[in-house]
Structure 1
Amino acid sequence: MNKLYKQFVQFSGALLMLALVVAGCKKTFDEPPYKNGDPDLAVTATIAELQALYKGDPVLITNDMVLAGVVIGDDRSGNLFKQIVIQDKTAGINIQLDASNINAKYPIGRKVFIKAKGLTLGAYGGLLELGYGVNDSKQPVRVPQALIDSFLVGGSANNVVTPVELALDQLNGKYQNMLVKIKKAQVVIADTSKTFGDPTKGQAYVSIGIQDTTIGGLVIRTSSYANFAGTKVPKGNGELTGIYTIFNSDNQLVIRDVNDVAKMTGDRNAVVAPPSTNIELKTSPLLFNFDGIDTLLPMGVTVRSGATASSLGNDTSYKKTRVKWADVGLGFKNFASGTDFTMDENTQNNATNRAIGVRQTGSMESGVSFVFEIKNTTGKKNLKMNFKLQSLDITSTRTTTWAVEYATGDNPTSFKPGTATGIMTTGNKTAVSNNISVDFGNGLDNISDKVYIRIISLGATTGTGNRPSSAIDDVQFTWN
């Protein structure tokens, strides 16, 4: 019996040693060697190069792409839920992870390497995200907890990312998921009595309006489950830091904790008053060539989303930074006018002839419109409109159908069609500038109220693939 027992102990010990050796080999196989705190993984792409893969529909990463970035946002405060945001020198990306207390392993300042093969690049409300497949709404799904270590490898700690300093009117899609700083920020007067979130949890999120000395727009969006949800917002002026995000065409900032607003203690600044919202018909013809949209849209011109047959829709942000025709980011944009479709990206960027345009996505497809708000047509008749409708991205396979409509009064709920002549579609692999003529008959003769005229896509795009980059230019009104 003693001999058998001794043999059993020896055999069990051998099995234990074998298990330890196998486990040790497996760890060595799974985890690359480290050097100066970072794993020995060759980075094959920048985050900007990853973003460039997105053309409006989810993209499954099928090659051995390796990215690296520093965590700029984690779940420690509760304002980010089951996600981290990383940034390299070119861009930032949101990574959806189905785990809690992610900050214990991937805190702000830690470098993270992403083995992206098998992940999906998609968007929620236009904000780019990495996930593990998509749901029925084509939004990225969180990476299952058991698979996180297959895709993420932690690196060195305590790295510092310097925020990009911007004014509100400089915010645009290329800064999404990046750490930014607004130097002269202050909470709008109407929101200075609020807290960042709703401590009662009656609202899941609270949006706080922010202004600076420009006409740009921004809200701080905070989860009511954040540990600082009950903290009152600052009433002063100063530096505001956070992660810039977008939702459709709205500019949003996610703060990590109250340290991001700690410098908003100075005297409040006077805010630039918005321009007049009315177009006055003084001398016929009246031309809008949009060549000055690097700074502002022309007086009385707005861009809107969510418009319907009975509603003007939402006054929407315009991103004034010049972009290429093939730019797939959601929203209203500053494009080169389609005068020469052989222009390369650099020529487009330097072109002085500009056009106001829009790129639709699944989250902002129908109801996008270019709106002209006219003070009145008192003493005027036979109003007509001419413009160029431009399809700018020849790679776009979907088709958008446009219409011209008009209404009167401060808050119109009924729109009538103008009689438009010309090709009223964009996309379908075309790069073209079509001349459109619109006759309103006597429908707008001698109107003492406001007159709204809009160029609108009321329905969804048709077809599959990329949605168009659509633009308007050289809008001209004539009357007697």
Structure 2
Amino acid sequence: MKSSRLALGFILLSAITLSSCLKKDYAGPPDKSGYDPMLPVNATIQKVLNLLPANYPSTSVSPVRIDSDWTISAVVVGDDKSGNLYKQIVIDDGSTGLAVLIDAYDLFNDYPVGRKIYIKLKGLYIGTYHSLPQLGYTPDNTGAISGIPGTLAENYLVKANYPNTVTPIKVTFAEIAGGANVALENRLIQIDSVEFVAGDVFQPYAAPAPSSGTSLDLEDCSSTVVLRTSGYSNFQSALTPSGRGSITAIYTVYNSTAQLVLRDTSDVKFTGPRCDGAVFIDPSKVVFNEDFQTVNTNNEILSTPGWTNYAETGGVLFKGGLLGSATKFAKISAFSTGSATVKSWLITPAINLDGATNPMLSFKSDDGYDNGATLKVYISSNYSGSGDPSTSTWTELTGFTISSGHTSGYGSQFISSGFKSLNGYNGSIYVAFVYEGSDPAKTTTFELDDVMVSKD
């Protein structure tokens, strides 16, 4: 159901700070040497950042050349192995982080996550890209910092011991969702109890290249923050999970907008239940699905392609329901029909279960002004596909949760029926929703949506 009853978070479309490009083949495992040259360290990343104007997060700045003989040491917390970072690594010295631009591919071979490095800073530049600090080489003709040439990288970057433990900083959602947090820029963070907004569930992490990147929204049940992913990442086509849990990512900004950048999908651990308890089905496991999006007008006689809308007694047919422009569903009521006995059928098209392992039926429902009418579910394997269903054999399916008890109005939202196993059925089957009521005694309105058969 394209529900308008739940406000989905907005999706930001800003350009990515950390875009990516195609990677060369992995050249081999990183050196696991325990050797540390123990270069004298006389600066910190924060000392380097202090060269920028105090108001750099809110204004564009010109790159600043570092002329002092400073050396910093730090550990790599983000590399380019997945392709989501392009020609750069992200380092952290324990107090803050920094993106380092290097004009070379496959940096993870020399500078993998967990590698300690020293950087000789004299002659390099510190600047920003849309407010995000970056360390690099001579500015180009646009004023943007360029990457340290690959052939010169060893003149500035000195490899030390590997591996070192990299532990993300645990932060609350409130610390990142209210706009840019300068203290966390270019740092590896972990946030618990988050999920993708409903509209971004089971979506590719990014549009394919040459798209520079795609923004998806994460939420903590109320506020949202952007996850930005390159179209060149090797997990671009992977689908986002539906659950809730923790995510580890590099915190970046684009102007005043906070953006998280994944190192890899192994940093996404969304296995718990969602905030609202909603259950999503992997699209690849859907055998049949109907969300009634062909409804155009509220209260029109329902004519969904392939479905049978049949009034057995009382002349009452299912109608289309429309709330706003997106919430569309089937509905029925005996109210004001003048029919002492109403029995109406809404029957699916044929659903082929051949090859479907553990098929499960589910749907969503809501009720209004409940005074005793019923909505039941039946299944048949010998229905003709059209016309009078009474000439076929139907078996009632029980155990569903069907909305009820709203005597003075409607429920606040559609509720899930739960899942009913259809094991034992194969070939073509039909599912029928049968309404029984009367006017004026039993006139409950039932609304029906998201009828689905899924499989393992």
Q: Calculate the TM-score normalised by the size of structure 1.
A: 0.47
The structure with more helix, counted as a fraction of residues: 1
Q: Calculate the TM-score normalised by the size of structure 2.
A: 0.50
Larger RCO (CA within 8 A; separation ≥ 6): 2
